[in-house]
Every structure is written in C-alpha cells, then in structure tokens.
Structure 1
Amino acid sequence: MKEISTRDVRQYLTSNKEKLKAELIELVRAESPSHEKSALLACERTIKRIFSGHFGDRFTVETFQMEETGNHLKYEIPEQPGPRILFLSHYDTVWGKGELPVVEKKGKIYGPGIFDMKAGLLCSIWAVKALLETKGELTFSPVFLFTADEEIGSLTSKEIIETTAKTCDAVFVMEPPTPRSHALKLERKGVGEYTITATGKSAHAGNHHEDGVSAILEMSKIIQKLEGLTDYKKGTTINVGKINGGSVSNVIPEKAKIEVDFRVKNSGEAKRIEAAIESLSVSHPEIDLVIEGGLNRPPLEKTTGNLALFALAKQAGKKLGIKVKGASAGGGSDGNFTSALGIPTLDGLGIPGGGPHARNEHIKFEHFPGKCALVAVTCELLSKKKGEVIS
C-alpha cells in the first residue's frame, strides 16, 4: 500500500485551486434557503453533479425524500474496507434568494452560506478526491451525508444523522471553524427551546379590573424566574427572546406567550434547567400554564473519543505545517447529536472565514487547499489507528 505523502496531497489541491474555486462559486450561487423547497431541489442537483463529476459511479447515493424541507443525501462505497468516517454537512442556508451577492474581493469570497457551510461541504469532497488521486486507493470507508434542514433545527434529518452515525467509527463535522482563531470546535453548548403560554381571565380594565386575571402580569413574574437561571460561571444562559400577549389596552389580558432559548455546556446542566422550567408554578390560582419544549440538541462535550480525534488532527497539522487549535462554541451543530451517541466527533473542519449568519459572510480562499489537506491527512492517520481512537 502506497504511503501517504502530505506534500503530494497539498500539491494536488493547490494545483487544482481554480477548479475548486469555480465549484465553490457554483455551489454558493445555487442558493438554498431552508424554507424554499424549489431552491433546495436545485441545489441538490448541483451537489449531485459536482459529486458525480469527481467520483463517477464509485459511490452509491441514497436520497431521503422530504415533503416540506429539502431532501437529504447519503453517499457511500459498498463494502469499502477500513474505518467508516462520516463527513457531515448541511446545504441549507439562513439567507433568502437574492439577499446576498457572490463577490470575490482581496482574497475573500463572500456569499450566502459560503462560510456556514457550503465551503466545508466541498472541502470534504476534495479531501477524499485528493487521496484517491495521489494514492490511488482509500484506507478508510467514506460516508457523506448532506442534509437540508440544519438551520431550522434538523427536525427531519436528526434520525437519519443518528442512524447513519451509529454505523460509523468517527464523524467529521464540516461546519466552519471559529471565525477569529480558526480553531476546531471541541465543545458546543446544548440548545433547548420552550414555548410557555399563560391563560388568565379577561375583564374591562376600567369597570371590572378586579374581576380580571392578567396573563401578562403572571408571565412577567415567570420571565424573571427564567432569566434568573442564567449562570455564566456554568456557561448556562436563558433568553426569553419573544413575547406576545393581550389584545387592547382597556382589557385585562387573558393570554400571554413567550419563546425561550437556553444553552448549556453539559448534560447534567441540561437536566437541571429542564427540571426548573418544567416545574414552574404560578402565583395566581386562576392562571393556567402550558409549558412545551425541551432540549433540542444535546451538548457536544470533550469526550475521550472526541479528544483523540483532535489529537490526530493536531498530528496531521504538524505534518502539513498548520497550527491546529481547539475552542468552545455557544451554538450547536449536527455534531451534537453524534457526539451524544458516544461516536467520536470532530467539529469545525470547514474553511476559515467569518460572518456566519451576517451580511459579511465569507471564507478566506487561501486556506482552502490546506484545510482540505488537513482533513485528508487526518483521515489517513485515523485509518492507521485501526479503530484504536474509538476506544
């Protein structure tokens, strides 16, 4: 078996950077807002065209048809030996069609979803392509999963992600690294959401004020209890981000509703917050309180398996002359699901840049060949471990 040459891999990627850039721009221009089915289908066709252009019929593809969101795609090589590595990406974006132009300026490429995370998706394809071209064979079994609803909670893809991940030895999440330090993400907070509705009793605010039971007044007390659960030392935050209530100013408000976001660093803290929210009580006996929701994404924590993968990435970085750093992130990803299953997961393997969910969203193209090479070499190092990393 031919030994990997880090120089050959990086040289191959560098020599193909113009083709790589053209594919990236093509993919970003295939705009894919999470809620626009027709646009997502067009982007799906673009992904399939790019993928088959690189690998022909070497991979089998399974398309998970969805009614409302975009479809989810899974590629794998039947009976390919070696550890199974799942490359996990999403192709939906937060941007509506036409909101952001695709612009190249001073070494940066701007566009909708380019940083989060179409560049990372393409990076995974080119990393495997580079190994095939320089080695002629693979020492691991790549599995690609491209999902279409991550930005709206992964409600239709979560089960597919978890089912696929359970068949794999490691998960490489192709989300972008941290914007400033370009670090891989060793921790992500767990994310939860609640909707809380209070129902009181309406009455005329002038004639029969004493007969009314204000849902807004009760909800104001609940909001203070919720915000009081925030504990920065523990990394726990609670945010009441939306509130609706009442009808007109001269009527005691019968209804009030809030939407709550919470973030936690570990599963123990998630249980504490869930218990606190779900046991909320009211101060007025005539208030009816309905609490709906819970933890949406479990925390991605520094498990033994996750840290072992990070150590391999650092080793790969040394071979390539790339300094690999690790960091924590407040937002969640689909890697939260796979890590919670106990499957070694490494996040933030996408392309350096900045502006996630912002109008200056961009990647620094100069880093593209190097980051693809880092992913490729990490895969090779993992395959040499023959599964030891997942112990």
Structure 2
Amino acid sequence: MMQFEGTDAFMTSANWFDTQTILDGIRRWVEIETPTDTPEQVNRLMSLVAEQHRDLPVTLERVAGIDGCGDHLIARSTWGQDQPGILVLSHLDTVHPMGFIERLPFKVEGDSAFGPGIYDMKGGAYIAHHALRALCADGNRSPLGITHVFTSDEEIGSPTSRALIEKEGRKAKYVLVTEPAREGGKIVTGRKGVGRFRVFIKGVPAHAGTRPQDGRSAVRELANVILALEGMNDLNRGVTVNVGVARGGTRPNVTPEEAYAEVDLRVPSFADAEEFVGKILGLTSKTEGVTVTVTGELNRPPYEKSNAGASLYEHAKALATEIGFELIDTHTGGGSDGNFTAAHTATLDGLGVDGKGAHTHYEQLYVSSLAPRARLLHRLYQTLR
C-alpha cells in the first residue's frame, strides 16, 4: 500500500534552490557534448557526474558500456537499500552530433537557457542530482532509499540499459523519470508503446527496356507494403504507423531486385500492441516471385496509467501546490525509460525541466522552472514512504 509523509515535513533552506546555482550546474553538463554514438564523450560526462557524487552518502557503481555505447552510472544512497525505495531514471546522451554546440552554444536570453540536450534531458538529470544533494545537506534522510541511474543510450531506444532499468525498476517502490515536462510543465502519466520494424523485399531483376516481362519489381511491392502500413493508422484509437525510411533499386533502367523500409509503430495499450505487431510482422507479398520479410518488435511497452501511478501523481500534485504551482498530467506519444517500469512499479515521468525544442537547433529550458521543479523532486524524496 502506498504511504506518503505529510506535506509539512522536512522543510529545507531556500538557499539550496537558488536558480543561478542550479543553472551553473546544468551549464557544466551541457557544455560536455554527449551524442549517443560518441561513447568517449558520454563517459567524460559520466566521470564528472560520478565525481560530483563523491562527497555524498552514496555508493557508486559504473557499468561498462557495450555495443558502441557509453557507460551507465548507478548512485545508491547509503541508507534504505534493504527495502524497495525510489528509483530515479535519467539519460545523459543527446541526439545532437558533435560540434553542434557551436551552432547552439549555452546562452541565456530572458527566461530561456539554450544548449544541446539542455531540455532533453540534462536539465532534468541535473535537478534530480541537485535535489539529492540538498536532501543530504540538511542532515535528514529520506524515508526510502534513493537510487539514481544515469544511462547512455536512451535516445536510441536503450538497447544496452533496458535490462538494468527493468531490474532496478522491479526492486523499487516508486520510479521517477526526469524526462522534460510537456506543454507548459505537464507531468507524464502515460506513454505509447514503441515498435520498430524493418521490411526487406526481394524481387527479380531485368532490363527494364528490353525484357520487362522477366522482372519482378521489389519497389512496386514496396509500394503495396507502404499502402498496407499507412492504412493501419487509426488516430481515433491513438495508433500510428509511419514508414520513415524507404529505398530500393539501383538504376532507372533496371527492374529493382531489392527494396527496404523502416517502420515506426506507436500504440497506447498492450492490446493494441499485440494486434498491430502481429499485423506488421504478418505482411506478405502480393506479387508472384517477390518475397517480403519483416523483422522487428515492440522495443518499448506501453506505459498505461495505473492506479499506483495515479496515486503517485496525486501526491506530486499536492506537493506542487504546496510549492506554488499547478501540476497537470498528460499522455504522450513519445517513449521513455519509464515505459520499461510502469507496468509493475508506480511510475511518474516528465519530472524534468520545462522548455521546448527538444532535438532541435533552438532547444531550451525555461529558467523559471528550475527551482520549482527541483523543489518538487526534493519533496518527493522527503515524503514518499
């Protein structure tokens, strides 16, 4: 059964939530560029983050990166590890390539601070760390132990961290995900499941001018496949199927022997996932002599709003009211590492900073969101039991 400490407990000095101090900390993380495919850069930031935990009552575990990805870092409070506690999930990798910081340098203009990955999600990762630091500084200990996992591969689907996240998630009582807030500061209590598929088509080549009757066009069959896939879209149900990559053939005067496509599926529920994954994997050729092979799977399960997740949200909402802002929840089509934990552990996502422009050349956080959102994480640490 969920228990929450009263909202008037464990108040901490406001000095810990000085906006400029928090922003200075975020800047250090942002100015170390961390594209997922540049593990040495991700590891450079992981080393800084580890160093910034050295004076805290935590134990550190660094998991060596594999398959071209960087390391993962686990910081565990020295208390409360003998029972299910709070798991905080953050990723330090970004989508922006190396050198992008020259195009999008850290800068502050009005209420916006800019930089690669500042909104998605270095700002959120940092305020969670800052909230832990504030918790440790006041001499108190949270009722539950805290484990903060920093991963290196979320932006490519978490292939090397998923097992770690699922393992830690099953051990936890609550999961807090520091992905950015949505649409003006909304918290996330549901996300669509994400599937990724590859379509391989094999036809029969021929001279397109002199022997067209001998050919079997893989590209033409790809057109049939694309129409079938696009026909699966059902916006009323919240199901989307997108053929994001399509290619085939070699020259205009050759009947194309091969064609290829990459497909993205988004589904709101496990029932939808089962139905549409089956439909996509079951695609077959409509042309004699042409084969269609589909591979792939659901790589992030749906994150459906559970009773436990709803209770956790209501508690966070009350804390936000105490701090001085309204917390509204939403459901989003984008996936996160919260998708891996929500089915079995109370999960609250979108706890990071507010802002806009994730993955763009104008990515930014709103400076005014830093102190309130850091305070919210701090109060969650203090009151979850």
| Residue 225 of structure 2: aligned partner | 222
Q: Percent identity?
A: 32
CA contact (8 A) 2:9 2:383 kept: no
Q: Give 1:77's aligned residue.
A: 77
Q: Which residue of 2 aligns with 1:144?
A: 148
Query: What letter is aligned with 1:292?
Result: T
Unaligned runs of 5+ in 2: none
1:83 and 1:301 map into 2 onto residues whose CA distance is 22
Matched, 1:302 2:305: yes
Q: Secondary structure at the match of 1:377?
A: helix
Q: Distance in 2 between matches of 1:10 and 1:255?
A: 65
After TM superposition, give the deviation of residue 3 of structure 1 in Å.
8.1
Alignment counterpart, residue 239 of structure 1, candidates 242, 252, 276: 242
How much has 1:6 moved relative to structure 2? 7.0
Aligned equivalent of 1:30: 32
Secondary structure in 2 aligned to 1:185?
Answer: strand
In structure 1, the residue corresponding to 2:94 is in which secondary structure? coil
**Inter-partner Cα distance in structure 2 for 1:9 and 1:150:** 33
- Return the offset for 1:379: 2.9
TM-score, normalised to structure 2's length?
0.94
Shift of 1:165: 1.1
- Within 5 Å, give how 1:330-349 maps onto structure 2: 330-340=333-343, 342-349=344-351
Letter in 1 for 2:333: G
1:98-109 to 2 correspondences below 5 Å: 98-99=99-100, 100-109=104-113
**Alignment partner, residue 314 of structure 1:** 317
Find out whether 1:367 has 2:375 as its counterpart: no
Tell me, in whole angstroms, the C-alpha distance in 2 between the residues paired with 1:135 and 1:174. 25
- Return the letter of the residue paired with 1:320: I
Q: Does residue 89 in structure 1 map to residue 90 in structure 2? A: yes
Cα distance in 2 for residues equivalent to 1:263 and 1:40:
28
Q: Which runs of no fewer than 5 residues in structure 1 stay unpaired?
A: 384-391
Shift in Å, 1:362:
0.9
Query: Does the alignment pair 1:59 with 2:58?
Result: yes
**Equivalents in 2 of 1:347, 1:144: separation in Å?**
14
Q: CA deviation at 1:79?
A: 4.8
SS of match in other structure, 1:258? strand
Retained in 2: the 8 A contact 1:6–1:373? no
Alignment match, 2:126 = 122
| 1:271 counterpart = 2:270 | no
Matched, 1:161 2:165: yes
Rounded Cα–Cα distance in structure 2 between residues aligned with 1:315 and 1:236: 33
Cα distance, 1:10–1:362 mapped onto 2, change above 3 Å: farther
1:196 and 1:259 in contact (8 A); partners too: yes
Q: Secondary structure at the match of 2:216?
A: coil
Q: Which residue of 1 aligns with 2:19?
A: 17
Match for 1:291 among 291, 294, 302? 294
From the superposition, tell whether residues 315 and 359 of structure 1 become closer, same or farther in structure 2 (CA, over 3 Å). same
Aligned match of 1:386: none
For 2:359 and 2:327, the matched residues in 1 are separated by 24
> For residues 17-41 of structure 1, what are the alpha-carbon distances to aligned partners after superposition, in whole Å with 9 as ceiling and x for unaligned?
3332221111111111110122112
Q: Which residue of 2 aligns with 1:188?
A: 191
Supply the AA of the counterpart residue of 1:361: E
Distance 1:207 1:28 in 2: 59
By how many angstroms is 1:83 displaced? Answer: 4.7
Aligned residue for 1:243, secondary structure, equals: strand
| Larger CA deviation: 105-114 vs 5-14 | 5-14
Q: Secondary structure of the residue that 2:27 maps to in structure 1?
A: helix
Distance change >3 Å, CA 3–CA 190, structure 1 → 2: closer
Q: Larger helix proportion, structure 1 or 2?
A: 1
1:169–1:221 Cα change, 3 Å: same
The RMSD of aligned alpha carbons is 1.8
What SS is found at the alignment partner of 1:51?
coil
Map Cα deviations across residues 319-357 of structure 1 (whole Å, 9 max, x no partner).
Answer: 2122010011111000000113x1110000001111111
> When the two structures are superposed, what TM-score results if normalisation uses the length of structure 1?
0.92
**Whole-angstrom CA distance in 2 between matches of 1:164 and 1:339:** 12
Task: List 4+ stretches of structure 1 deviating above 6 A.
Answer: none
C-alpha displacement of 1:4: 7.0
| Deviating more after overlay: 74-83 vs 301-310 | 74-83
How many residues are matched? 376
Find 2:330's aligned residue among 322, 327, 331.
Answer: 327
Relative to 1, partners in 2 of residues 1:332 and 1:83: Cα closer, same or farther, differing over 3 Å?
same
